[in-house]
Amino acid sequence: MTNPIVDFANSDCILVIGSNFAENHPIVSRWVLDAKRGGARIIVADPRFTPTAWSADIFLQLIPGSDITLINAMMHVIIEEGLQNQEFINNRTTGFEQLKDNVRDYSAERAEEMTCVPAELIRQAARAYASAQASTIIYCMGVTQHTCGTETVIDCANLAMLCGHLGRPGTGVNPLRGQDNVQGACDMGALVNVYPGYQTVTDPAIRNKFASNWGLPAESLSTEVGLTLVEMAHAAHRGELKAMLIMGENPAVGDPNLNHVWESLQNLDFMAIIELFMSETAQLADIVLPAASFAEKRGTKTTTDRRVQWFEQAISPIAEARPDWQIICELAERLGLGYAFRYQSIEEIMLEMNRLTPSYSGITPERLKETTGGIPWPCPSIDHPGTPILYTEKFSKPDGLGVFTPVEFKLPAEETSPEYPLVLTTGRVVMHFNSGAMTRRSPALSSREPELFVQIHPATAHRYAVQDGEKAIVRTRRGEAQAKVRVTRRIGEGVAFMPFHFPDTNILTTDALDPRAKIPEYKVAACLISPAQGKEGEQPQ
Amino acid sequence: MTRVIYMDLNRCIFCRACEVACEKEHNGISNMFVQLVDERYAVPMNCRHCETSPCTLVCPTQAVHREGPDAVIVDTMVCIGCKLCNLACPFGMIWPDTFNKVARKCDLCIHRREAGLDPACVATCSARALAFGELDDFLVDIRKTSGVTIIHSAGGDSGTLITLPGNGRDPKTVHSISSD
């Protein structure tokens, strides 16, 4: 996020695209509703009328996968009506003419055909976003989990730069991260192409820096980019990947195209997992190493708005559970690499981060323990207060200028056909977290959302002869899943929504990837829905 | 003065964290019920702790009684499970616990209030739809906010006369009285 969560309260207009924060980041609602109370206009673009959309002044019910067309059309309207921030464009950006050429073809009328959002609403949204004093964009997985995810994120940035809504309170481009400390994990290089602090693995100079700090010969660290999650499943399926160590992940439920994933995991020679619970993936593992939960360990977490916060242990680890860092050090010891993993404490690891991660340089354990609410990176030195708002004066490019990058609409990897006529989109519900490995174990939560459901429009239910409250079979090119039907006018005709917290949803989803970010297209698949044969509990005929 | 749980109906997002928090405080039993209306409004419902409470009037054993100025509570050791209070409550906020055969309702987290804490539902509300305090203080806040809304929606600025709705003129009309 370019701006802190609390800063949403300072916005005059909030554009929410591909985020259902009322269910998935409920705390964000506090600040968005404060903004609304102060007179801010709320625009929500979503295929479903979610609780997030309840507070919307303008609701844009687009069809899944048409986000780029919507954003390009908003920019078309803004330029057509001269609402862009020319001063910001002149002083802080390059490439405006290319953007202008690119969006010329995206009239509101053309976008109406492609997105199903009325042209007049697109115009209203564009005017509201462009003309407010301080507008902010909130986006989430609805934007990213597409084969055009990277382009859509770029387009959000284009829109913000076009109107100069960056670098000030109440503005910004704000992706909401999906998990506690996922920001921190990325910052620490839990990605295939970077060391901590987004320092690229392909640069030998950076490799040498890390190797010498860790006391390793430089050539022992690879300069090649590794495999991402879905690519690993594919490599295991081909027999090229032999063993996996999995931590904090439940691919046997969470990954797309699950039938394929199950074959891949079973094709491994060896799998070890570091887990809290006997998850679906842990059941396939050769060895399960019990991990300590958040309450049983101490350290830092980095929130979605880049704030690094210290947390202390509440209880001692139960039974054999251990904090992840200790498990990793012990594994290294057994592998004969113990000399490179001689950490005695969390503080010692944090001090290494301060040395090797420029954006974390000034975020020392001593400072963090004294700073309630944490310190937002970049924080380059011990006396630096941290950076709550990014890009106040320049962007992180050599010349400091933001680059408009025109993007074109792209069709999803899988289109509907006579055989699979509905668009299946997946997402989350408020009661569950990700693969449900934790929340399906909580009676308080699972009693309120006990089973897999599929949400469809009354007309869709009528056409495919399925009834509200009864079981239906949802089928895609990859497999089928049984789900309880929920008929609602909250969703558009021709679209079906399923939450992915239950083991069967991802049997249906596609493992087509965004070519750059390698994120799978969880948000669009072609499906068919039909009544389940026989009553509940009976065998299908 | 009476302290109440105030519900801001514009803010409830149907996350139902209040229900789960209530359950955690009351041995797995929730006395908070968030009602979804027309699939676009959510109303967090709990006992209103009525001044003249029908439940206390009909209770034959005084198990349902007012305790202190704020709360109506059930003494489950005295409750005979006759269910008259369930029938009397106009809001459906007392319900029969058929396992223990007693009436259940919100106790306004008496144990938390004694420790100086807000009721669990209020403390957990992410969207700040729930608040706990003196009713008069909430009303003062509402008056302030609606005053601001009236002025702003009429386009009020210094040197302008605001025309309010209801006198036959366009409510948005603003007449300048600045002298130039």
Contact A177, A401 (CB under 8 A): no
Chain A residue at shortest CA distance from B148: A38
Give SS3 for B4: strand
Selection from A42, A179, A165, A159 nearest residue A102 by Cα: A159
Could you tell me how many CB contacts below 8 A there are between chain A and chain B?
A: 54
- How close A314 gets to chain B, by Cα (Å)? 19
Contact A25, A176 (CB under 8 A): yes
How confident is the model at residue A538, as a pLDDT? 47
Put simply, the answer to whether A30 touches B17 (Cβ < 8 Å) is no
C-alpha–C-alpha distance, residues A394 and A167, integer Å: 9
Token pair in block for residue A106: 């995206």
C-alpha–C-alpha distance, residues A255 and A277, integer Å: 18
Question: In whole angstroms, what separates CA B140 from the centre of its chain?
Answer: 16
Query: Torsion angle, CA of A347/A349/A354/A356, rounded to 10 degrees?
Result: 170
Question: In whole angstroms, what separates CA A118 from the centre of its chain?
Answer: 28
How confident is the model at residue A455, as a pLDDT? 97
Burial of residue A494 (number of CB atoms within 10 Å: 0-12, 13-18, 19+): middle
A170: CB partners within 8 A, 6+ apart? A3, A7, A8, A10, A11, A12, A35, A133, A134, A135, A136
**pTM given for the model:** 0.91
Give SS3 for A527: strand
Query: Contacts of residue A489 in chain B, CB cutoff 8 Å?
Result: 39
Selection from A404, A337, A360, A372 nearest residue A88 by Cα: A404
Query: Contacts of residue A445 in chain B, CB cutoff 8 Å?
Result: 20
Selection from A521, A461, A452, A465 nearest residue A495 by Cα: A461
Chain B residue at shortest CA distance from A444: B20
Query: CB-based contact (8 Å) between A30 and chain B?
Result: yes
C-alpha–C-alpha distance, residues A530 and A456, integer Å: 12
Query: CB-based contact (8 Å) between A145 and chain B?
Result: no
Q: In which residue are the tokens 């673009």 written?
A: A45
Give the DSSP letter of residue A439. Answer: G
How confident is the model at residue B164, as a pLDDT? 55
Contact A106, A75 (CB under 8 A): yes
Token pair in block for residue A457: 């429009």
- How close B57 gets to chain A, by Cα (Å)? 34
How confident is the model at residue A380, as a pLDDT? 95
- How close B3 gets to chain A, by Cα (Å)? 23
In chain A, count of helices (H) and strands (E)? 20, 21
How confident is the model at residue A263, as a pLDDT? 95
Put simply, the answer to whether A49 touches B40 (Cβ < 8 Å) is yes
Residues of chain A short of pLDDT 70, as ranges, are 534-541
C-alpha–C-alpha distance, residues A532 and A92, integer Å: 58
Chain A residue at shortest CA distance from B14: A51
Upper half-sphere CA count for residue A534 (Cβ side, 13 Å): 7
How confident is the model at residue B151, as a pLDDT? 76
Query: CB-based contact (8 Å) between B29 and chain A?
Result: no
- How close B54 gets to chain A, by Cα (Å)? 31
Query: Contacts of residue A33 in chain B, CB cutoff 8 Å?
Result: 10-11, 127-128
C-alpha–C-alpha distance, residues A184 and A309, integer Å: 10
Put simply, the answer to whether A26 touches B126 (Cβ < 8 Å) is yes
Give SS3 for A304: coil
Query: Torsion angle, CA of A364/A321/A262/A536, rounded to 10 degrees?
Result: -120
Token pair in block for residue A313: 């242990």
| Parallel/antiparallel/unpaired status of strands A41-45 and A58-60 | parallel
In chain B, count of helices (H) and strands (E)? 6, 10
Query: CB-based contact (8 Å) between B35 and chain A?
Result: no
φ, ψ of residue B27 in degrees (nearest 5): 50, 45
Select the residue of B23, B126, B145 nearest A29 (Cβ to Cβ). B126
How confident is the model at residue A534, as a pLDDT? 58
ipTM for this prediction? 0.89
Put simply, the answer to whether B127 touches A490 (Cβ < 8 Å) is no
C-alpha–C-alpha distance, residues A279 and A438, integer Å: 9
Token pair in block for residue B76: 């489950």
Query: Contacts of residue B128 in chain A, CB cutoff 8 Å?
Result: 30, 33
Cα angle A121-A161-A410, degrees, rounded to a multiple of 5: 60
- How close B175 gets to chain A, by Cα (Å)? 23
Residues of chain B short of pLDDT 50, as ranges, are 167-180
Length of chain A in terms of residues written: 541
How confident is the model at residue B22, as a pLDDT? 97
